[in-house]
Structure 1
Amino acid sequence: MCSASLKNRWRLYKMNYSKRNLLALIIALLSSSFIITIFSVFAGNTPLGELMTGYQSAAHYPFSLQNLMNLFFFIGLGQIWVRWLSSHEENVFLNMSGFLPEDETTVLSTDSEIDAIRSNVNNITIRADAFLPDLINTCSIQYLKSHTVSDTISVLNSALDLHIHRLELRYSLLRYIIWAIPTFGFIGTVIGISDALSKLDIIKFMGAHLDKVAQFRALTMDLGFAFGTTIVALVHTAILVFLIHLVQKQEEEALNNSARYVLNNFINRLSSK
């Protein structure tokens, strides 16, 4: 049902999640280090550099709270890239499939036809747990056992539930990241306000002009750190949440389209025995 050239094209989309996640982590570490270095060298003493990296306020730079949030942000971007690549490949499986008859007249009436479809899927696809190959394989096995369309539909629904649950689990790290970044921002706000109040010397504040200037400078720097971490955290979180929404929608649409393809071109062509 699929040509040799189609088979070779399928093999270009081999998916190894562990290696891909490791690659995303390495790229995130390198990217965050590069961006932090750029800000430190060219904008460290500017308000923007202080806001993004804490270049002036950090006691042990580059180990600042802002840089920790930057690191988490790039790790989140890496995970979103992994999820986007997965959704893209699911759509490639769907668009390049050719696994099932798509004309209006074909009826799957013999076990040999069903078994040929299942063998074709297993031989061509390297990643059998992708949505479309897994749904076809699961429904084929069930029908070969029971020869009942209703049982096959029930198995299809169960497989869809499992895939939905698996999708939710794959976003668990991203959900932790979008929780952790605002938490770091809030911690920075609390620390900044606390430091500002602890450094406020009322005697000096009420004294000479130079003492007042020094007090105001220390106070504004700590307060700037306090609210700067919140700003960075909110911006990072807003970007990640928006991208997660887009990618998750794309993955869910790929799952729905795969289920519709199996329903229209496999289950609706089965004959009850």
Structure 2
Amino acid sequence: MSIPASHRPAREWLWLVVALAVVAAVAAPFWEVFTGPKAREEWAKWDEDRVKRLLLGPEQVLCYVCAVWAALILQSRYREVRRQRRAFNLDLLPTEEGARILPEDARPLARKVEQVTAGRPFILANMIRLGLGKFAISKSAADVSEVVRNQADVELSRLITGMSTVNYLAWAVPAIGFVGTVRGLGGAFGANSPNIQVFTDQAKDQLKIAFDCTLVALLLSLVVMYFIHALQRAEETLVTDAQQYCQEHLLLRLYDPATEAAHL
């Protein structure tokens, strides 16, 4: 079987390395400016207490919970994608050159698919089984093609629906961060002290809370969204490759009596 186009590397990581090299070359002359004495003096203020307040606020902890929850779901779904890909290595259909599938072969092949998969749910096996079942009844390759296409749409819709919780968590992370931002801004504007220095210190502390929550939430959101994107692409590629497998080893090998008679 030829390698599907979706299996060929897109060289995205290569382009990432090129992008990093270009940015580094442009940004290097400015690096000295940001690492001067004044910058080092600002970094010296980041003591243990400051880092703790940055990373361990109540809103940050809630963001961590949502991010870890989403990561666990994504990890389980990625393992399922890898399991589904094992079906491509199973002996589900004849792959010999010139092999044809007759209408009377459809039901025995469908039973063979069930035996090979041993009752395990595979997207590819389900598409083949439904296609063979339709071919046994209608003896029409066009009907089989329609069944395979419809089942692919159903599987893709099911995968998209299964991402609803993860999509909510990806939205919840920055939303929780903005809750902390509002809390910090409210505390800054609500600071009340007759002493101007005390008032300024209170306002600065509350603004730190606001910006810390936003920073942590947005960074976590970027990470979660990347892995959501990667998983969705893997799932969509799985369904596309299953369709291509059915096209090469099922649809193009069907013996359609009506089509054969038309060609004679």
TM-score, L = length of structure 1: 0.73
Residues 1:266 and 1:75: Cα distance change in structure 2 (over 3 Å): same
- Within the alignment, does 1:226 sit opposite 2:220 as a pair? no
- Is the Cα–Cα contact under 8 Å of residues 100 and 117 in structure 1 kept in the other structure? yes
Aligned equivalents of 1:44, 1:114: Cα separation in 2: 71
Letter in 1 for 2:101: L
- Is the Cα–Cα contact under 8 Å of residues 107 and 269 in structure 1 kept in the other structure? yes
Letter in 2 for 1:141: G
Letter in 1 for 2:114: N
Question: Where does residue 157 of structure 1 map in the other structure?
Answer: 149
Could you report, residue by residue, the CA deviation over 1:171-202 in whole angstroms, capped at 9, with x for unpaired residues?
1111101111111111111111101221232x
What does residue range 92-171 of structure 1 map to in structure 2 within 5 Å?
A: 92-94=86-88, 96-111=89-104, 113-126=105-118, 128-171=120-163
- Within the alignment, does 1:173 sit opposite 2:158 as a pair? no
Residues 1:126 and 1:51: Cα distance change in structure 2 (over 3 Å): farther
Question: Where does residue 6 of structure 2 map in the other structure?
Answer: none
Aligned equivalents of 1:127, 1:221: Cα separation in 2: 60
The gaps in structure 2 that reach 5 residues or longer are 1-45, 258-264
Q: CA deviation at 1:217?
A: 2.9
Counterpart of 1:233 in 2: which secondary structure? helix
Counterpart of 2:91 in 1: which secondary structure? coil
Question: Where does residue 73 of structure 1 map in the other structure?
Answer: 67
Aligned equivalents of 2:47, 2:61: Cα separation in 1: 12
Aligned equivalents of 1:260, 1:104: Cα separation in 2: 17
- Is the Cα–Cα contact under 8 Å of residues 128 and 134 in structure 1 kept in the other structure? no
Question: Where does residue 17 of structure 2 map in the other structure?
Answer: none
What does residue range 181-220 of structure 1 map to in structure 2 within 5 Å?
A: 181-201=173-193, 203-205=194-196, 212=197, 214-220=198-204
Counterpart of 1:46 in 2: which secondary structure? helix
Could you report, residue by residue, the CA deviation over 1:192-221 in whole angstroms, capped at 9, with x for unpaired residues?
1101221232x221xxxxxx1x33332222
Could you report, residue by residue, the CA deviation over 1:77-101 in whole angstroms, capped at 9, with x for unpaired residues?
111101211111121221x222111
Could you report, residue by residue, the CA deviation over 1:18-73 in whole angstroms, capped at 9, with x for unpaired residues?
xxxxxxxxxxxxxxxxxxxxxxxxx994322221112xxxxxxxxx1110111001
Could you report, residue by residue, the CA deviation over 1:83-141 in whole angstroms, capped at 9, with x for unpaired residues?
211111121221x2221111221111242x32222112212325554211110111011
- Is the Cα–Cα contact under 8 Å of residues 91 and 116 in structure 2 kept in the other structure? no
2:233 aligned residue (236, 239, 249): 249
- Is the Cα–Cα contact under 8 Å of residues 51 and 229 in structure 1 kept in the other structure? yes
Residues 1:229 and 1:151: Cα distance change in structure 2 (over 3 Å): same
Question: Where does residue 25 of structure 1 map in the other structure?
Answer: none
Aligned equivalents of 2:173, 2:83: Cα separation in 1: 30
Letter in 2 for 1:48: V
Q: CA RMSD in A?
A: 1.8
- Matched residues, percent identical? 21
What does residue range 251-270 of structure 1 map to in structure 2 within 5 Å?
A: 251-270=235-254
Aligned equivalents of 1:68, 1:45: Cα separation in 2: 21
The total of aligned residue pairs comes to 212
Q: CA deviation at 1:260?
A: 0.7
Aligned equivalents of 2:47, 2:122: Cα separation in 1: 46
Residues 1:83 and 1:183: Cα distance change in structure 2 (over 3 Å): same
Letter in 2 for 1:97: L
